[in-house]
A and B are shown apart, each in its own frame.
Chain A
Amino acid sequence: MIKYVLKRIGYMLITLFIIATATFFMMHSIPGDPLGAMANKLPEQAKANYYAKYGLDKSLTEQYTIFMKNLITKGDLGESLKYPGKSITDTLLTNSKVSGVTGGLALFFGVVIGVTLGIVAALNKNKWPDYLVMFIAILGITIPVFVMASLLQYLFTVKWMILPTTGWGKPKNLVLPVIAMCFGTIATYARYLKSNMLEVMGQDYILTAEAKGVSRFHIIKDHVLKNAFLPCITILGGQISGIFTGSFVIEKMFGIPGLGFYYVSSINDRDYTMIIGTTIFAAALFVVAQLLIDIVYTLLDPRIRVK
């Protein structure tokens, strides 16, 4: 097992290296530069100074070497081109924490509620609870998150005036964005778990359990749930890494100082260091989440256990 994990970590580092390299060159191949996005009418000398300060006057290979050296030896992603003096690493750490709290809560409630609804729907197939859950699920999938967010803001702040529209720092600031974000997750898990459960309930080994005299409750609890939940872990992996990079729309609408804002705006600003920083950060989270998911999988599913 340890050998397997070490091997996986090795692959992860290679993946990250490739991603960093690819992002670096792709980003520089986009027309325009950070200065162009900020001010067009700077004197030539000011421009030259700016380029010199950030090393943009050097050749691409040279820039690449410097960047890689800093990244590998010091874990330093550089300084933002758009916001002078702002360290990328610090920004990532501070803002991803904010995104992580909102996204994490949303994911937690989304999974718990979604799984519960999925179980309810599967156990009451073709009866009203099933139809109700599927109705909610379809709403959750079809209503865009920004519509949901504005609806919540309208109801809870404009109409009933019980929750703040925007802001950060107090628990009550979290309520609306978390609800808005978890709605889609609820829908995904409810639908997914329902179909998985129905599939598992049709398996031969469930019939075996019935023939043994296992009660319906224990069949669901001991035989169906674990097997039905296993495939859900796969989607969970992608979502876990997603929570730290934040949601651009939600963070904008609720004024949450998360990472989502930087993640998107850095591309428009040609904020090279920020783009690379956020991309590597997201990629690293993703591969780490995948590794965790695979480890969890081997713990839960004996068929893919590594010896």
Chain B
Amino acid sequence: MENDKILEVKDLSVSFNTYAGEVKAVRGVSFELNRGETLAFVGESGCGKTVTAKSILRLLKPPFAVIKEGSQITCDGKDVLALNKKELCEFRGDEVSMIFQDPMTSLNPTMTVGKQIMESLRIHRHLNKKEAREEAIKMLKMVNIPSPEKRIDNYPHEMSGGMRQRVMIAMALACSPKILIADEPTTALDVTIQAQIMDLMRELKEKMNTAIILVTHDLGVVANFADRIQVMYAGQVMERGTAREIFYEAKHPYTWALLSSAPKLAKEAKQELYALKGTPPDLILPLNCCPFASRCEYCMPICKEKNPLETTITDTHRVSCWLQHPKAPKVKSFYDREAK
């Protein structure tokens, strides 16, 4: 299973054309995804996580959003950016499918959930109505919806948020896609339901050997779900590594900042929660420096002049930070401070 690449994204750049100018939302992002693996995109709002995820399915709307020339997306040997309309429809939902943030608005309110699940089965597997219905019931059972034979004829408003998200998952997995993109699947749900949904996704992932791209800003969700994590900021990947490496051996000051801003139970109760000061840079302007420089505690003169290259730390762990330069000063990391 190792090195069995299912998705390869190279130099992905996406821009939005707005009245204010060209917003470069994603700037040369590259990553790979193996079969059955879970990769998480982590970062604050507006860092390009969702845009990167949507680009894989080409869901961004031209001419407003443009995937720049030179970007490459290869899925299972298929050049995604070269697909024509018909091929794209066959690709979406069959090989790669996606679930969205808000299950309240992501389902068509005037169509039964069964019909919405059957839709993709009929398109991709060419099942007839009866077969599709049986399959849809099976899917609903798989996502633990009680009495699926009845629920299949429900409309979305007759279900709770958690149930709707289960329906979304059932819908996305109906055609056993190779990759499932989950765009903040638990953000709109309350905490107990969040855990259930994540458990469900983990269980299904193992059952169907689906690779998952999880987009989230919730480190807690990532910690025991993702195999690898990719920390994004201002449309770039700042640090990437296995979940262990990111949580216990992070090298990038931005990753440290993210980790410190997550509340911890073990800490003394009255300690104030860390908040990263400032806001992300304006993405309309060209960035010739490290995008995090203006907010970074360890900012050095070079950080404001040149964007750092990726430094490889282990096979899986890579960091884009000038602190990794041999000549850079040794700084006290997040872990040293935590240990105190």
Residues of A whose CB lies within 8 Å of any CB of B are 203-205, 207-216, 222-223, 226-227, 230, 300-303
Assembled-state Cα–Cα distance A211/B100 (Å): 10
Interface centre among A205, A212, A300 (most CB of B within 10 A): A212
Does B155 lie within 8 Å of A212, measured CB to CB?
A: no
| Chain A binding surface SS class | helix
Residues B55-74 near A (CB distance < 8 A)? 57, 59
Does A223 lie within 8 Å of B155, measured CB to CB?
A: no
Does A204 lie within 8 Å of B92, measured CB to CB?
A: no
Interface centre among A215, A226, A302, A303 (most CB of B within 10 A): A302
With A204-B105, A230-B110 already in contact, the answer to whether A212 and B100 are too (CB < 8 A) is: no
Does B123 lie within 8 Å of A214, measured CB to CB?
A: yes
A211: nearest residue on chain B (CB-CB)?
B98
Shortest B92–chain A CB gap in Å is 4
Does B89 lie within 8 Å of A209, measured CB to CB?
A: no
Q: From the candidates B89, B102, B155, name the one contacting A204 in the complex (CB within 8 A).
A: B102
With A211-B92, A212-B171 already in contact, the answer to whether A205 and B124 are too (CB < 8 A) is: no
Interface centre among B98, B112, B119, B172 (most CB of A within 10 A): B119
Chain B 77-93: CB-based contact to A (< 8 A → 1; otherwise 0): 00000000110111111
Assembled-state Cα–Cα distance A230/B110 (Å): 10
Chain A residues positioned under 8 Å from B123 (CB to CB): 212-215
Chain B 243-265: CB-based contact to A (< 8 A → 1; otherwise 0): 00000000000000000000000
Q: Count contacts between A and B, CB distance < 8 Å.
A: 81
Does B120 lie within 8 Å of A213, measured CB to CB?
A: yes
Chain A residues positioned under 8 Å from B109 (CB to CB): 205, 227, 301-303
B168: nearest residue on chain A (CB-CB)?
A208
Does A214 lie within 8 Å of B119, measured CB to CB?
A: yes
Residues of B whose CB lies within 8 Å of any CB of A are 57, 59, 85-86, 88-94, 97-98, 100, 102, 105-112, 116, 119-120, 123-124, 155, 157, 168, 171-172
13 A–B contact pairs at CB < 8 A? A203-B105, A205-B107, A208-B116, A208-B171, A211-B93, A211-B172, A213-B91, A213-B94, A213-B124, A215-B85, A222-B119, A300-B110, A302-B110
Chain A residues positioned under 8 Å from B92 (CB to CB): 210-213
B117: nearest residue on chain A (CB-CB)?
A212
Does A302 lie within 8 Å of B155, measured CB to CB?
A: yes
**3 A-B pairs with the lowest CB-CB distances in the bound complex, closest first:** A213-B93, A213-B92, A212-B93
Q: From the candidates B100, B110, B124, name the one contacting A208 in the complex (CB within 8 A).
A: B100
Assembled-state Cα–Cα distance A211/B95 (Å): 11
Assembled-state Cα–Cα distance A302/B115 (Å): 14
Assembled-state Cα–Cα distance A290/B258 (Å): 57
Assembled-state Cα–Cα distance A301/B88 (Å): 31
Q: From the candidates A209, A300, A301, name the one contacting B119 in the complex (CB within 8 A).
A: A209
Chain B residues positioned under 8 Å from A213 (CB to CB): 88-94, 120, 123-124
Does A205 lie within 8 Å of B108, measured CB to CB?
A: yes
Chain A residues positioned under 8 Å from B85 (CB to CB): 215-216
Assembled-state Cα–Cα distance A302/B107 (Å): 13
Shortest B238–chain A CB gap in Å is 28
Assembled-state Cα–Cα distance A222/B112 (Å): 12
Chain A residues positioned under 8 Å from B59 (CB to CB): 207, 210-211
Q: From the candidates A209, A227, A300, A302, name the one contacting B157 in the complex (CB within 8 A).
A: A302
Chain A residues positioned under 8 Å from B168 (CB to CB): 208
Assembled-state Cα–Cα distance A154/B119 (Å): 54
Assembled-state Cα–Cα distance A210/B93 (Å): 8
A206: nearest residue on chain B (CB-CB)?
B108
Does A205 lie within 8 Å of B105, measured CB to CB?
A: yes
Chain B residues positioned under 8 Å from A203 (CB to CB): 105
Does A205 lie within 8 Å of B120, measured CB to CB?
A: no
Known contacts A203-B105, A204-B102, A205-B109; 5 additional CB pairs below 8 A are A204-B106, A205-B106, A207-B100, A210-B59, A212-B172
Chain B residues positioned under 8 Å from A215 (CB to CB): 85-86, 89, 123
Chain B residues positioned under 8 Å from A303 (CB to CB): 109-110, 155, 157
Does B111 lie within 8 Å of A212, measured CB to CB?
A: no
Chain A residues positioned under 8 Å from B172 (CB to CB): 211-212
Does A212 lie within 8 Å of B102, measured CB to CB?
A: no
Shortest B121–chain A CB gap in Å is 10
Chain B residues positioned under 8 Å from A210 (CB to CB): 59, 92
A301: nearest residue on chain B (CB-CB)?
B110
Shortest A287–chain B CB gap in Å is 26
Shortest B132–chain A CB gap in Å is 13
Chain B residues positioned under 8 Å from A302 (CB to CB): 109-110, 112, 155, 157
A224: nearest residue on chain B (CB-CB)?
B108
Shortest A9–chain B CB gap in Å is 27
Chain B residues positioned under 8 Å from A300 (CB to CB): 110
Assembled-state Cα–Cα distance A95/B109 (Å): 43
A230: nearest residue on chain B (CB-CB)?
B110
Shortest A305–chain B CB gap in Å is 8
Chain A residues positioned under 8 Å from B110 (CB to CB): 226-227, 230, 300-303
Chain B residues positioned under 8 Å from A214 (CB to CB): 89, 93, 119-120, 123
Chain A residues positioned under 8 Å from B124 (CB to CB): 213
Assembled-state Cα–Cα distance A140/B241 (Å): 63
Shortest A78–chain B CB gap in Å is 47
Chain B residues positioned under 8 Å from A207 (CB to CB): 59, 100, 106
